[in-house]
Structure 1
Amino acid sequence: ALGAEIAACEGAFSADVLALGADWDPAPLLALTEGLHGTADTAPDRFAPAVTGALRRLRRVRSPELPVTVTGRPAVTGVTLTETAPRPLLLTAVTGADDRHRYEFATHQWEPGTRDYLLTLGVDASTDPLGVLLQLATVSVGDTTAPLLVRWLPPGVAVGAGGTGGGGGTLDAVNAATRMRAALNRGYAALDPMSREEAEQQFGIAVRLAHEIGAAWVLADIRKVADIVDGARGLVRVGPTVDRGTVREGRLHVASGHLLDLPAHAAGTPVKCPGCRHLAGPHARYCIACGRPM
């Protein structure tokens, strides 16, 4: 019944949760905030300022959700969309029965500011010509639509960033953050009820990934329920007893939307292709517009 009511309100309302005390089941609270694109966290000691802050933030929301629609050619075999900033989030695609080439992604609350997304397409290009500008798909946000254009290059010619500091590092960080959150959630689930071996394994994965991307909040949360023996190697030990309230608070904390510190731009100065003068990233080895070596 709760799921049906949440689904009926999705896209029209939003909700934030401040959980009082510790004697509650986090599952319905998380279902509410995930379905309505809000946040959930435990209530701080100073409750009134927390409520005021939540109301102030919700009043700034311009849209509880804004769909991003990708319509691909028949050659497009799969589409994924990842929000890279301000929060790392892999969005779920919904395809219609009448048009399986149309993918709709529901984004979370839109406030004033900008967002960065990474769109990835799987394509069967076996019958496409080389060197010709092709439209693979259209991307629509609200009433605005833009084409997605590509130009296939001959086999053996690679386009991309060769070195550190490019977009690949951002994608790696987003993927690591997604795996880290999933492992942290599984670790908490293993503690309630207690399954020490599974919890240590999952917390170990979360700790190792947190070290890689600098997510200090994950280390702080895990230390409340376990000892970190070797963070870089992901070695964690859970004691004989764990406070259930702390475990439930931790599950809400995972869902409260911690920001991932990602670079706004690739490090270095953009360079121009010597042939067509198209701008490329500082580490690009080939021009993405004409295919010539940089």
Structure 2
Amino acid sequence: MNSPAENGVSVDVDQNEFLAEGTRTMDAVVTVQTSDELAVAAPPQQRVEILIIDCSGSMGGREKFPNARTATLAALDVMPDGTHFAIVKGTDTATVVYPTQGASAVANRESRAAARRALDKLKPDGGTAIGTWLGVSRMIAQKHPGAMVHAILLTDGKNEHETAERLAEEIRASEGLFTCDCRGVGSDWEPEELRAIASALHGTVDIVKTADLLAKDFAAMMESSMEKTIPELKLRVWTPVGARIVFLKQVAPAIENLTARRVETAPQIGEYPLGAWGADERDYHIKIDIDPLAPGGKKLAARISVFTDADPLAQGLVKAEWTTDTDLSAPISRGVAHYTGQAELAQVVQEGLAARKAGDNATATQKLQRAMHLAHESGNDNTAKLLRGVVDVDDAGTVRLRAHVDPSDEIALNVRSSKTARVRPEDRGKGDA
């Protein structure tokens, strides 16, 4: 079922609607695409950018902190005039170092120069309490109701000066108030901590291996933020009585499980927040448990609508028809098969790295061998390349753990393993028996 882009949004459903007799699970891949026209036509919103810079003692030295300061200025340079911004110093506490009065400053030549002077006064000292940084950022966001608020968070270390429970509380309290892209510089930070923040706050997480690369990355994140002009899209999913959503996952451009984010709005209707959008395309895998009908019976398994705060912009239908004809029910949608493999790839990478960290080399080898196979099979060349930083592969394709692994290569594989290779457009709707 395809929904044309009449409102600048299109919905495409990739599925095999035929189910074998007695089968009660239906899979579909839903592609949501927004056009340039919709992004440009979106009502103007006040924009707020928060730059959260780790100023703990570990950032000292000739590389990290000077480059973090340069990166902050690079982000300010690409920020359009008129954008509101604030700079937060993060240690075992958090302080807004610019502006010193008011919730934010307005970007112009004078405020950028003042921000530069404030940055010049900073010196790395103290510990790391990332939840506190989020708390101060949340207070800034709350002083700009209705604005699109985006943060960039940089750290080089672990969250050592507050409990994991405190960080989790601050993440939960920040959901829906601002988005946050997280970056770890070097290899002494904890990927799971930044992944939890980025996941909940609709952002990205990545490693910056060396501090001299920070400026380019900060500028790119700021440019990407400015391209997002639609404050929030949501998926609204209706299912018939007796049906339930087993899971709903974003599967491209990266895997993100949205199942637990469902908000019940009416009987048989749930909504899933998708974060801010520009001109964009994302894929979602939905699995539905549905009461089967007799062969020949047809049923609407789900109605999926895309909307903002107003009326639905587009919708797609997931259909089910039961049959005794295996030629009809056996083929699997290429999209469903592809993204099932991509999800397994991300999972076995994480399991392999966890086994390696625990010293279980046999399990680590088995998992990473499977990951390499899946990466090649699905055309995910980026993950295959990252795997080669952790394992050696001989001419026969046999994987062996490397005796010595650069910690930054291991972290890169960890945080980037959820990025997927898209199913090719020409393969959408095709099936394999």
Please indicate the TM-score interval, normalised by the length of the shorter structure.
0.7 to 0.9
User: What TM-score, normalized to structure 1?
Assistant: 0.73
Residue identity opposite 2:385 in structure 1:
A
Shift of 1:67: 2.7
- 1:206 lines up with 2:367 in the alignment: no
Which of 170, 179, 182 pairs up with 1:14? 179
Instruction: Provide the residue aligned with 2:272 in structure 1.
Output: 105
Judge conservation of contact 1:36–1:64 (CA < 8 Å) in 2: no
Which of 248, 263, 282 pairs up with 2:424? 263
Instruction: Provide the residue aligned with 2:347 in structure 1.
Output: 182
Instruction: Provide the residue aligned with 2:399 in structure 1.
Output: 236
Instruction: Provide the residue aligned with 1:3 in structure 2.
Output: 168
Residue identity opposite 2:193 in structure 1:
P
Shift of 1:223: 1.8
Instruction: Provide the residue aligned with 1:49 in structure 2.
Output: 216
CA distance, structure 2, for counterparts of residue 283 and residue 244 of structure 1: 41
CA distance, structure 1, for counterparts of residue 374 and residue 218 of structure 2: 33
Instruction: Provide the residue aligned with 2:380 in structure 1.
Output: 215
CA distance, structure 2, for counterparts of residue 192 and residue 153 of structure 1: 47
Shift of 1:175: 0.9
Q: How does 1:235-254 map to 2 (within 5 A)?
A: 235-254=398-417
CA distance, structure 2, for counterparts of residue 69 and residue 10 of structure 1: 19
CA distance, structure 1, for counterparts of residue 412 and residue 431 of structure 2: 43
CA distance, structure 2, for counterparts of residue 187 and residue 151 of structure 1: 37
Shift of 1:107: 2.8
- 1:115 lines up with 2:276 in the alignment: no
Judge conservation of contact 2:349–2:371 (CA < 8 Å) in 1: yes
Instruction: Provide the residue aligned with 2:337 in structure 1.
Output: 172
Shift of 1:76: 1.5
CA distance, structure 2, for counterparts of residue 211 and residue 259 of structure 1: 12
Query: What SS does the corresponding residue of 1:185 show, helix, strand or coil?
Result: helix
Q: Which has the larger radius of gyration?
A: 2
- Between the two structures, name the one with larger relative contact order (CA 8 Å, sep ≥ 6): 2
CA distance, structure 1, for counterparts of residue 240 and residue 389 of structure 2: 50
Seen in structure 2, the aligned counterparts of structure 1 residues 41 and 231 have a Cα distance that, compared at 3 Å, is farther
Seen in structure 2, the aligned counterparts of structure 1 residues 231 and 30 have a Cα distance that, compared at 3 Å, is farther
Seen in structure 2, the aligned counterparts of structure 1 residues 78 and 39 have a Cα distance that, compared at 3 Å, is closer
Shift of 1:282: 7.8
Residue identity opposite 1:172 in structure 2:
A
Instruction: Provide the residue aligned with 2:24 in structure 1.
Output: none
Residue identity opposite 2:242 in structure 1:
A
Judge conservation of contact 1:130–1:151 (CA < 8 Å) in 2: no
CA distance, structure 1, for counterparts of residue 251 and residue 411 of structure 2: 27
Seen in structure 2, the aligned counterparts of structure 1 residues 153 and 171 have a Cα distance that, compared at 3 Å, is closer
Residue identity opposite 1:203 in structure 2:
L
Query: What SS does the corresponding residue of 2:409 show, helix, strand or coil?
Result: helix
Judge conservation of contact 1:95–1:101 (CA < 8 Å) in 2: no
Seen in structure 2, the aligned counterparts of structure 1 residues 52 and 10 have a Cα distance that, compared at 3 Å, is same
CA distance, structure 1, for counterparts of residue 330 and residue 424 of structure 2: 15
Unaligned runs of 5+ in 1: 268-280, 285-294
Higher strand proportion (structure 1 or 2): 2
Residue identity opposite 1:252 in structure 2:
V
Query: What SS does the corresponding residue of 1:16 show, helix, strand or coil?
Result: strand
Shift of 1:227: 1.0
Shift of 1:81: 3.2
Shift of 1:18: 2.2
Query: What SS does the corresponding residue of 1:199 show, helix, strand or coil?
Result: helix
- 1:29 lines up with 2:194 in the alignment: yes
Seen in structure 2, the aligned counterparts of structure 1 residues 65 and 184 have a Cα distance that, compared at 3 Å, is farther
CA distance, structure 2, for counterparts of residue 261 and residue 46 of structure 1: 27
Shift of 1:116: 3.8
Instruction: Provide the residue aligned with 1:75 in structure 2.
Output: 242
Instruction: Provide the residue aligned with 2:228 in structure 1.
Output: 61
CA distance, structure 2, for counterparts of residue 230 and residue 208 of structure 1: 14
Seen in structure 2, the aligned counterparts of structure 1 residues 265 and 8 have a Cα distance that, compared at 3 Å, is farther
Query: What SS does the corresponding residue of 1:115 show, helix, strand or coil?
Result: strand
Judge conservation of contact 1:77–1:121 (CA < 8 Å) in 2: yes
Q: Which moved more, 1:148-157 or 1:212-221?
A: 148-157
Residue identity opposite 2:277 in structure 1:
W
